[in-house]
Every structure is written in structure tokens, then in C-alpha cells.
């Protein structure tokens, strides 16, 4: 306080000083009231729970959005999510029905349905996820332990959609039994891998199976080819046999008709027919390089010598 202020206060009357003190006390009380009122208010937002505790005991949970009040100093407020949450479950190793080791990686969609029960039995959001993760792994190990390795990794013959539903239902049963105040909406297996030391042996086995299957397909194809070729050969043989038989019939018919024609011609002029047959035999036996020795008295000699007119 400056000397001027002290001097001014000395000039004020006791009544005025008393009035100033009252004003100061009123202002101080007003400030304290504003601080108390401000600290007693809290806002509940969409998608969250506000948990009000008194001496560490939960006395109420506010989930309706808006402005709410608490008792300052005595009560504290904490926040929990009131929406769908994603929990990435830590990958674990399991054994299948056929004693194969697999690494399973999955996730869960979950939510807090009863904050008071969750706080009482799981203590916190992290504790709730921890309990949920243990239940999920236990159920997955139990469910996949009833299936062979090929049934799990084979998408065509897989029933993983049904498995996911069964896992979700069983996990919720365990959570409800423990009254953890949370609910799992969906559990999904997002990845199934082999342990590093088993991958190469499995790959070799898969290659061997594919090669065996390919060889089986080749054998089936070769057998089918042989069957088709045998049927084709049989059909060709039958067609040739039928054609030869028809040709023989036609040839026999032609020879019969030719014989009839020869007989008819022979009956009309016997000498001309003998001459024609002789000339035809010349065509077949005589060419430019042929040397003919004709004995005397043979038909050829008689014809050439003019004995036959």
C-alpha cells in the first residue's frame, strides 16, 4: 500500500472503512462461490459415461448428455466410453485336432453395458480387456482344437463363420457369469499362421500333395486318351470292314455283269471275240522291250504268218 493510499485511508471515517471491508468480503465470497459452482459442474458428452465417486466408491453413473453437478472436494468424476470399441487380441499359439501348431491373430468388437459392474469386477477398461482377452483365447483354443489344420485354413470347406458366432456366444456367457458389465458383439479371426519352424515342412508337404494330384490328373488324362483312341480305331476298323464288304459286293456285281456282256458278245460273233481276246493279251504281254519267241504252229505265229484269215 502506497503512502498516498495510507494517507487516503487515514482521511476516511471508520464507517467508510467498515463499508469497504464488507465489499471486499462480499467479492471474496462471490469468487469462492463461483469457483465452487464451477468445480461442481461437469459435462456428459455423447458416447461416454461419467462415473461419480465419493471416497472412491461409485455413487452414480451419468450417461445422458448434458450439464451435471457434483459435490466439490468430496466427489470426483471419471470417464468411460459408451460406444463400440475394438480390442486387438494378442496373437497366441494353439494346437489343432491333428496336432498341428498354429498362431491365431484375432480381434473383438465390444462395449461397456454396466459401468458399475465393470468397475467392481474388472476395475478399469484395461482390466476388462485383459479378462475378455483371456476368455477369447480360451474359447478359440477349445473351438479350433476340435478341427483339423486343413479345415481351418481351407476357405472353401471352412465353417469359420459359424466358429466366430460360437466363440462370441461362449465369451459372452463367461463375461456374464463373472458379471463384468461388458458385452462382446463380434469376435473375428483375421489371420492364421504357422510357427516359423513349421512353415517349410508344411510348404514341402503341400508341394508334394500338389505334384501327386497333378500326376493323378495326368494318369487320368492318359487313360482317357487311350480309351478315345481305342474307340476311334474300333470305329475305323468297323467302317473299313463295312466298306470292303460293300466294295466286294459291288466288284462281284460288276464282274457278273461283265461276264454276261462277254457272253452276249461271244454269242454274237465268236471269231471277233477270239480276235479281241488275243489282241488284249498282246497288250498285257508285249511292250517295247519284250522279246518274243513264238513256236511254229502257235496262234500268234499263225496270225502273224497269215495262216489265220
CB 231 within 8 A of CB 238: no
Pick from 51, 81, 111: which residue ends a domain?
81
pLDDT higher than 80, residue 275: no
- Report how far apart, in Å, the C-alpha atoms of 280 and of each of 114, 284, 285, 303 are: 123, 7, 9, 14
Residues 46 and 70 in one domain: yes
Higher pLDDT among residues 159 and 14, named by residue: 14
**Number of domains, the chain:** 3
Question: How many other C-beta atoms can be found within 10 angstroms of the C-beta atom of residue 274?
Answer: 13
Within this chain, do residues 89 and 190 fall inside the same structural domain, yes or no?
yes
pLDDT tier for residue 76 given thresholds of 50, 70 and 90: very high
* Distance, CA of 28 to CA of 13 (rounded, Å): 23
Band (157; pLDDT cuts 50, 70, 90): very low
pLDDT confidence band for 156 (50 / 70 / 90): very low
Residue 81, pLDDT score: 96
pTM of this prediction exceeds 0.85:
no
Domain-embedded: residue 92:
yes
- Which strands form 101-112's sheet, in the order they lie side by side? 85-95, 101-112, 182-193
Grid cell locating 61: 453413473
Domain termination residue (choose one: 60, 81, 102): 81
- What confidence category does residue 34 fall into, taking pLDDT thresholds of 50, 70 and 90? confident
Q: How far is CA 8 from CA 11, 23, 135, 140, in A?
A: 5, 18, 78, 85
Q: Are 107 and 186 within one domain?
A: yes
Identify which has the larger pLDDT, 39 or 48.
Answer: 48
The C-alpha atoms of residue 27 and residue 179 are separated, in whole angstroms, by 51
Do 40 and 96 have their domain in common? no
Q: What's the CA angle centered on 22, arms 21 and 26, to 5 degrees?
A: 120
Instruction: Clarify whether residues 18 and 59 are in a common domain.
Output: yes
Residues 188 and 101 in one domain: yes
Residues 61 and 94 in one domain: no
Q: Whole domain around residue 29: which residue ranges?
A: 3-81
Q: Which of 81, 104, 124 is the last residue in one of the domains?
A: 81
Per-residue pLDDT at 111 exceeds 80: yes
pLDDT value, residue 170 = 94
259 found inside a domain: no
92 and 177 co-located in one domain: yes
Cβ-contact 107, 57 below 8 angstroms: no
Amino acid at each position: 500500500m502506497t503512502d498516498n493510499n495510507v494517507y487516503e485511508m487515514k482521511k476516511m471515517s471508520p464507517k467508510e472503512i467498515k463499508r469497504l471491508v464488507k465489499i471486499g468480503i462480499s467479492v471474496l465470497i462471490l469468487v469462492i462461490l463461483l469457483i465452487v459452482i464451477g468445480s461442481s459442474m461437469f459435462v456428459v458428452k455423447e458416447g461416454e459415461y461419467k462415473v461419480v465417486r465419493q471416497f472412491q466408491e461409485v455413487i452414480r453413473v451419468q450417461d445422458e448428455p448434458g450439464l451435471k453437478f457434483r459435490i466439490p472436494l468430496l466427489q470426483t468424476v471419471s470417464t468411460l466410453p459408451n460406444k463400440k470399441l475394438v480390442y486387438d487380441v494378442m496373437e497366441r499359439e494353439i494346437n489343432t485336432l491333428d496336432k498341428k501348431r498354429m498362431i491365431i491373430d484375432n480381434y473383438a468388437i465390444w462395449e461397456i453395458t454396466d459401468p458399475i459392474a465393470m468397475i467392481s469386477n474388472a476395475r478399469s477398461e484395461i482390466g476388462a480387456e485383459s479378462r475378455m482377452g483371456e476368455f477369447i483365447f480360451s474359447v478359440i483354443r477349445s473351438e479350433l482344437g476340435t478341427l483339423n489344420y486343413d479345415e481351418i485354413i481351407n476357405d472353401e470347406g471352412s465353417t469359420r463363420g459359424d466358429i466366430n458366432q460360437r466363440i462370441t456366444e461362449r465369451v459372452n456367457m463367461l463375461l456374464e457369469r463373472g458379471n463384468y458389465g461388458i458385452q462382446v458383439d463380434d469376435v473375428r479371426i483375421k489371420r492364421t499362421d504357422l510357427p516359423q519352424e513349421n512353415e517349410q515342412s508344411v510348404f514341402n508337404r503341400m508341394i508334394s500333395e500338389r505334384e501327386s494330384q497333378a500326376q493323378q490328373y495326368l494318369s487320368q488324362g492318359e487313360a482317357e486318351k487311350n480309351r478315345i483312341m481305342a474307340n476311334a480305331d474300333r470305329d475305323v476298323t468297323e467302317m473299313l470292314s463295312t466298306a470292303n464288304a460293300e466294295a466286294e459286293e459291288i466288284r462281284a456285281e460288276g464282274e457278273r455283269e461283265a461276264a454276261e456282256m462277254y457272253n452276249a458278245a461271244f454269242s454274237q460273233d465268236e471269231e471277233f471275240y477270239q480276235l479281241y481276246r488275243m489282241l488284249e493279251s498282246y497288250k498285257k504281254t508285249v511292250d517295247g522291250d519284250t522279246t518274243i519267241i513264238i513256236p511254229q504252229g502257235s496262234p500268234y505265229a499263225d496270225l502273224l504268218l497269215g495262216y489265220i484269215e
